[in-house]
Amino acid sequence: MIQLLISGLAMGSIYALVALGIVVIANAVNVVNFAQGENVMLGAYVAATLTLTLHLPILAAYAISIILLALYGYIFQKVAYYPLRKKPFITVVVATIGVSMFLKNAARIVWGPQPIYFAGPFGESMIRVGGVSINAQNILIIVVTLALVVFQHFFFAKTSLGRQMQATAQDQEAATLMGIKVSRMIAFTFIYSSMLAAAAGVLLAPIFYVSADMGANLGLKAFAASIIGGFGSVPGAILGGLFLGVLEIFAAAYVSSLYKDAFAFIVLILILAFMPRGLFGEKISTKV
């Protein structure tokens, strides 16, 4: 029971991180980034290569992966967003789908079709609490996610850069009139979102195998989570992600693991039908 809940929350934390990355971009530039799942995959592969091939210590690999993904985020927006920023919504979304397919196929060519396993900083070790033993990686995932959420809140609410990014997300033209460098703020938003993806990737790898296909499912689930929570809402993305993770694990344990994915989408459809604004509604105050 406790074990299930912890693994559900761990998986849910990953969904939450991916969903956050999607929501931050959606709020800032009104684009749904369908490549976010592949960005997670990229972060995981980079960390795997750094540890398995280049034999770097695992925490260094994590850090370098996050830094490289930040750089990637900058390039991504320069290539896939900036030239299209005045085009209709759908054009940009299609571009992100194009990037996701490119990344997936490139990963297959570079890293081959075999899934790669790479252990986390704690290997396979289990933590015993009371009578139950819990996978240490799951605890790490939950703790790091929590820390990132707290950091994000502080960053956007309290720092000058965070405020400027919020203002840009809310009204680009008005932000320009304040002297805010809007295109720079948008670049920062993409960089931040890619760093979130890298964090999700390195945390997820030890419990999930790294493969070219891991991104597609993850991206969809995270998108579903953000809709379940109320699209555009930051707390909604976090709670939606956690909810979905826990739901899946319990459905797999008590109903059937075969239909684990189906559950996620059944819930999504029910929510869309009966609570179109998501479980937690959309509050303008929570937009980033």
Partner 1 sequence: MLKVSNIEVYYGKIRALNSVSLSVKQGEIVTLIGANGAGKTTVLRSISGLQRLEKGKIEFLGKDVSIVPAENLVGMGLAHVPEGRRVFPGLTVYENLEIGATSWRKGKACLSGDLENIYELFPRLKERSKQLAWSLSGGEQQMLAIGRALMARPKLLLLDEPSLGLSPVLVEQVFEVLHKINGQGVTMLLVEQNAFMALDIAHRGYVIENGRIVLTDTASALSNDSKVKEAYLGG
Binding-site ranges for partner 1 (CB under 8 A): 160, 163-164, 166-167, 170-171, 173-182, 284-287
Q: Alpha-carbon distance 39 to 3, whole Å? A: 29
Instruction: Name the minimum Å distance from CB 81 to partner 1.
Output: 19
Instruction: Name the minimum Å distance from CB 283 to partner 1.
Output: 9
Closer to partner 1 at the Cβ: 146 or 174?
A: 174
Closer to partner 1 at the Cβ: 226 or 233?
A: 233
Amino acid sitting at position 87 = K
Mapped onto helix, strand or coil, the DSSP state of residue 276 is: coil
Contacts of 227 (CB under 8 A, 6+ apart): 240, 268, 271, 272, 278
Instruction: Name the minimum Å distance from CB 174 to partner 1.
Output: 4
Q: Is 117 left (phi over 0), alpha (psi -120 to 50) or beta?
A: beta
Tokens of 130: 């009371």
Longest dimension (CA), the chain: 60
Mapped onto helix, strand or coil, the DSSP state of residue 25 is: helix
Instruction: Name the minimum Å distance from CB 139 to partner 1.
Output: 34
Tokens of 275: 């609570």
Within the chain, residue ranges assigned H as helices are 2-29, 36-48, 58-76, 89-111, 136-158, 160-170, 172-177, 182-208, 214-229, 234-254, 260-274
The alpha-carbon radius of gyration of the chain (Å, integer) is 18
Instruction: Name the minimum Å distance from CB 182 to partner 1.
Output: 7
Instruction: Name the minimum Å distance from CB 237 to partner 1.
Output: 16
Closer to partner 1 at the Cβ: 153 or 260?
A: 153
Closer to partner 1 at the Cβ: 178 or 262?
A: 178
Distance of CA 171 to the CA centre of its chain: 25
Closer to partner 1 at the Cβ: 169 or 268?
A: 169
Closer to partner 1 at the Cβ: 124 or 171?
A: 171
Instruction: Name the minimum Å distance from CB 4 to partner 1.
Output: 37
Q: Alpha-carbon distance 109 to 130, whole Å? A: 46
